[in-house]
């Protein structure tokens, strides 16, 4: 079926699967009772996990079925019934080229230090994008990669780099604990599964400041909100210090959403890319994050783009429908304007075509469009090889490394 999530609802005994973002009930599956479900899930969980669930009534865990896939699971209680949801984690890690990650990401994975944030709502593909970037480093750079996750999702085997993956409650007691001691474990690259609280955010920024390349995720929907969220977590008296640290150490923010493909073959990611150039750093430092949006809109030469620009590009390439893309747009009116400029077709005609009342007819010479985001990779073509830069591998702070 190509589903991404599996839901067991024990109060009704029904099973649901999420396909292309929509929940579908599996009618042919046998109904089950609360007792049956408890018995089955007890066979895949460790005794200490069951004990933790009985105490907290919540449990994150990872599950592997040999020859099938890995799964990220969450058990929870609902109206007195134990239930669970499972997310499929493929064995094979997709490459950056296959996913179609923006060009800026290829620069980020070469940086020796700094903070890269991948953001988006739950189920938007953040873990997949992070795994592909970590895999790129693993296959090409002789470095030490440390990850802290809850639970471990994509499994990375040692390639050119060595990879150590620590799971919360199995290998470490907390994200904060792991990040506190990771600096003594000689890492070059650190992946933080999720920046959940003040302490974890502070330690992640400190790790980047002390000369490590740090990747992390946040549940924010765009770049500006990401910067504000990080700063607002801290008490007022500490916020200016965090702005200074963030302005110096931030490399970029990748915000993403998934849109259903027009041909029905799954979903395609849409990205907003913020590259921390000197103008962005100044706005963060001076608490003028509201001005970052205008930099995003005009930053195509710096490999930046807004989510709405990227979505309009997908519509222009006929990869997604106008309606599906507009449902993910940050500013629907701005998105409409961009689509009209990119396609040369009025939004009214686009809506009429969806209703089947008119046929689209593109003008021979469409109006000039504003700067568009970097080309969307539709054929999974391999991008040009990354040129290695002398003096940027291994431990940072080399005199030969110079960056803006």
What tokens appear for 52 in the block?
A: 């933790």
Instruction: Output the DSSP codes for 192-243.
Output: ES---SHHHHHHHHHHHHTT-EEEEEE--SSHHHHHHHHHHTS-HHHHHHHH
**Residues 104 and 25 reside in one and the same domain:** no
For residue 47, is it within any domain? yes
For residue 120, is it within any domain? yes
pLDDT of residue 150: 87
**Residues 199 and 61 reside in one and the same domain:** no
pLDDT of residue 356: 52
**Residues 178 and 55 reside in one and the same domain:** no
Q: What is the mean pLDDT of residues 364-372?
A: 46
CATH number of the structural domain spanning residue 43: 3.30.450.90
pLDDT of residue 354: 63
**Residues 83 and 103 reside in one and the same domain:** no
288: pLDDT strictly greater than 60: yes
Q: How many CB atoms are closer than 10 A to CB 162? A: 14
pLDDT of residue 388: 46
**Residues 168 and 256 reside in one and the same domain:** yes
Torsion of CA 300, 271, 381, 392, to 10 degrees: 70
For residue 396, is it within any domain? no
* pLDDT, averaged across the chain: 86
386: pLDDT strictly greater than 70: no
Q: Sorting pLDDT into bands at 50, 70 and 90, what band is 358?
A: very low
* Domain residue limits at 127: 96-306
Q: Is-cis flag, bond preceding 151, omega within 30?
A: yes
What tokens appear for 240 in the block?
A: 């200016």
pLDDT of residue 377: 52
Beta strands in 151-302 (DSSP E): 162-167, 189-192, 213-218, 250-260, 267-275
* DSSP class of 398: -
Instruction: Tell which of 21, 54, 89 closes a domain.
Output: 89
What pTM was computed for the model? 0.81
359: pLDDT strictly greater than 70: no
Give pLDDT tens digits for 140-159: 999 999 999 988 999 999 99
For residue 171, is it within any domain? yes
331: pLDDT strictly greater than 80: yes
For residue 76, is it within any domain? yes
Give pLDDT tens digits for 277-286: 999 999 999 9
pLDDT of residue 355: 59
pLDDT of residue 361: 46
pLDDT of residue 67: 80
Instruction: Tell which of 274, 290, 306 closes a domain.
Output: 306
Q: What is the mean pLDDT of residues 310-338?
A: 93
Give pLDDT tens digits for 202-257: 999 999 999 999 999 999 999 999 999 999 999 999 999 999 999 999 999 999 99
Q: Which three-class secondary structure state does DSSP give residue 401?
A: coil
Instruction: Output the DSSP codes for 11-58.
Output: TTTEEEEEETTEEEE-TTSPP--HHHHHHHHHTTS-HHHHHHHHHHSE
Measured N-to-C along each axis, helices 278-285 and 236-249 cross at an angle, to the nearest 10 degrees, of: 170
**Residues 224 and 156 reside in one and the same domain:** yes
66: pLDDT strictly greater than 90: no
pLDDT of residue 346: 80
Mean pLDDT is highest, among 7-21, 300-314, 378-392, for 300-314
**Residues 143 and 253 reside in one and the same domain:** yes
**Residues 230 and 105 reside in one and the same domain:** yes
**Residues 175 and 211 reside in one and the same domain:** yes
**Residues 22 and 150 reside in one and the same domain:** no
For residue 34, is it within any domain? yes
Instruction: Tell which of 58, 89, 120 closes a domain.
Output: 89
Q: Within its chain, how far is the Cα of 58 from the centroid?
A: 24
For residue 353, is it within any domain? no
Give pLDDT tens digits for 34-57: 888 889 899 989 899 999 999 999
Number of domains comprising the chain? 2
**Residues 117 and 241 reside in one and the same domain:** yes
Q: Which of 100, 132, 130, 128 is nearest to 117 (CA)?
A: 130
371: pLDDT strictly greater than 80: no
267: pLDDT strictly greater than 60: yes
pLDDT of residue 391: 46
For residue 212, is it within any domain? yes
Q: What is the mean pLDDT of residues 125-149?
A: 96
**Residues 126 and 202 reside in one and the same domain:** yes
pLDDT of residue 351: 73
Least confident of 103-112, 258-267, 394-403: 394-403
CATH number of the structural domain spanning residue 162: 3.40.50.300
What tokens appear for 11 in the block?
A: 């109060």
394: pLDDT strictly greater than 80: no
Q: Sorting pLDDT into bands at 50, 70 and 90, what band is 353?
A: low
Give pLDDT tens digits for 169-211: 889 988 889 999 999 999 999 999 888 889 999 999 999 999 9
């Amino acid at each position: 079926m190509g589903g991404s999530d599996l839901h067991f609802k024990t109060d009704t005994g029904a099973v649901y699967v999420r396909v292309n973002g929509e929940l579908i009930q599996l009618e042919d599956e046998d109904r089950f009772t609360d007792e049956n479900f408890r018995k089955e899930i007890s066979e895949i969980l460790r005794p200490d996990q069951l004990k933790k669930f009985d105490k907290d009534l919540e449990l994150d865990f990872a599950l592997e079925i040999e020859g099938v896939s890995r799964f990220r699971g969450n058990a929870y209680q609902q109206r007195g019934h134990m239930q669970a949801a499972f997310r499929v984690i493929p064995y094979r890690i997709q490459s950056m080229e296959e996913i179609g990650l923006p060009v800026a990401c290829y620069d980020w994975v070469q940086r020796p230090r700094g903070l890269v944030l991948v953001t988006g709502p739950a189920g938007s593909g953040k873990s997949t994008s992070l795994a592909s970037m970590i895999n790129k480093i693993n296959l090409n750079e002789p470095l030490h990669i440390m990850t802290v996750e809850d639970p471990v999702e994509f499994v990375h085997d040692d390639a050119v780099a060595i990879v150590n993956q620590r799971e919360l409650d199995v290998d470490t007691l907390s994200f904060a604990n792991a990040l506190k001691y990771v600096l003594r474990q000689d890492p070059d690259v650190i992946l933080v599964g999720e920046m959940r609280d003040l302490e974890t955010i502070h330690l992640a920024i400190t790790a980047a400041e002390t000369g490590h390349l740090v990747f992390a995720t946040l549940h924010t929907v765009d770049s500006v909100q990401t910067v504000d969220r990080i700063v607002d977590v801290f008490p007022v008296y500490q916020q200016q210090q965090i702005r200074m640290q963030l302005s110096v150490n931030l490399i970029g923010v990748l915000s993403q959403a998934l849109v259903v493909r027009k041909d029905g073959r799954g979903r395609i990611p849409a990205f907003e890319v913020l590259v921390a150039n000197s103008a962005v750093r100044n706005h963060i430092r001076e608490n003028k994050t509201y001005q970052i949006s205008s930099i995003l809109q005009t930053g195509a030469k710096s490999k930046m783009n807004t989510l709405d620009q990227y979505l309009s590009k997908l519509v222009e390439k006929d990869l997604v429908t106008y309606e599906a893309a507009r449902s993910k747009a940050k500013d629907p009116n701005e998105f409409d304007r961009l689509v009209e400029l990119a396609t040369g077709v009025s939004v009214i005609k686009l809506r009429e075509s969806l209703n089947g009342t008119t046929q689209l007819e593109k003008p021979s010479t469409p109006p000039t469009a504003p700067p568009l985001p970097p080309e969307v990779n539709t054929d999974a073509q391999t991008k040009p090889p990354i040129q290695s830069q002398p003096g940027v591998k291994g431990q940072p702070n080399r005199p030969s490394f110079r960056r803006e």
